[in-house]
A = this chain, B = another copy of it.
């Protein structure tokens, strides 16, 4: 692989990251009520004033991370945006305290009134990510403590008693291990411990190992498939839910595991991450006819019941780019770089909007733009910039060592 090609990639990724940051700085800030507009149309106009909490938290995290770790984003306007978003979240996102437990809303009105609360843990996850990363920038100890307290509560819901989430216990609703939960918890452990001392690392060590084991339980069918939902003892579940594959999620879990493996030079985990969580979802998820990754598949080839199963969404492609580039940077196996470049070609020729800036998020199976907004209830300032940020950094490292092994 030529260094020139990788330098081309890095330049494009860098300029896309600048473009995407500019887009959200320009269009998403609510200077009246604070927080961020998340429903932003093709041309940058706000088409709905609702503020989705996942996306508020993710945007605070992303601004803070860029400010803290990339020199060209270490600018007052980015810090101010992160702080303003954090203040809005702290003021409005937590809506109830039943039996001493906080619950975060899923969606707020423009002025911060709760519209909807999900009976899951994800609003809280992104709240924690936001508070921890922002506190690293501002040095706000109280905020960091708040992140850890919310984390304790999350762990309680996941591992001890989920009744605080408000979901009724039903006899037919057997507990399951859904990929999203250990993945998010592993991501949070990496967030809370990264660059901190051994005491903090120790505090979350057992949880981290539990998350990794829970993720590994999703390897099913004698190691030939990653399934999205398994039983709590790691068996395949019956029906559509049990057969569901979500290639983008598996790829994301793959690079979380790669990070975990690299930190402790655990080659077994690294190789499992690549062979199972990155290679298998790519093999089953890549559309050989039209290119791109399917959103959902059924491991037995039945038609998934999700209406959007065959659409090409931006975020699985973002996760695939990070996963393959990270896998290559850890192994230097040329076939992994080839995969990266294949996903890269599809992604950059389909998702970015050269006219309006930012990326389209939702394409038909054939690659036509199906929904043309830049931000919506589930698409905000997160997967695109995180992918570009991660890839730029990995490419920086690779190219800095180019004479060695590239």
Contact = CB atoms under 8 A, between A and B. Distances in A.
Interface in A83-101: 95-96
A170 B114 contact: yes
Nearest to A239: B48
A303 B371 contact: yes
A351 to B, nearest CB: 15
A362 B171 contact: no
A55 to B, nearest CB: 13
The DSSP consensus for interface residues of chain A is: loop
Interface residues of A, number: 47
A96 B304 CA distance: 31
A293 to B, nearest CB: 15
Given A170-B95, A364-B365, A305 B115 contact: no
A238 interface: yes
A302 interface: yes
A311 B239 CA distance: 25
A28 interface: no
A50 interface: yes
A117 interface: yes
Given A307-B370, A371-B303, A240 B47 contact: yes
A215 to B, nearest CB: 25
Interface stretch (A16-24, A224-232, A320-328, A372-380): A372-380
B109 A172 contact: yes
A170 B364 contact: no
Interface in A22-55: 39, 41-42, 47-50
A117 B168 contact: yes
Contact of A303 (B112, B364, B373): B373
Contact of A39 (B41, B95, B105, B305): B305
Given A240-B39, A309-B371, A114 B173 contact: yes
A353 interface: no
B305 A308 contact: no
Contacts of A114: 170-173
Contact of A41 (B239, B303, B376): B303
Given A42-B303, A307-B362, A307-B371, 20 more contacts: A39-B305, A41-B302, A41-B303, A47-B298, A47-B302, A48-B240, A49-B239, A50-B239, A50-B240, A108-B172, A109-B172, A115-B173, A117-B170, A302-B373, A303-B371, A307-B307, A307-B311, A308-B308, A310-B370, A364-B365
22 contacts: A39-B305, A41-B302, A41-B303, A49-B238, A50-B240, A96-B168, A109-B172, A113-B172, A114-B171, A115-B170, A115-B172, A115-B173, A116-B173, A302-B373, A303-B371, A303-B373, A305-B371, A305-B376, A307-B308, A307-B362, A307-B370, A365-B370
Report, nearest first, the 8 A-B pairs whose CB atoms are least far apart: A113-B172, A115-B172, A109-B172, A48-B239, A307-B308, A113-B171, A114-B170, A48-B240
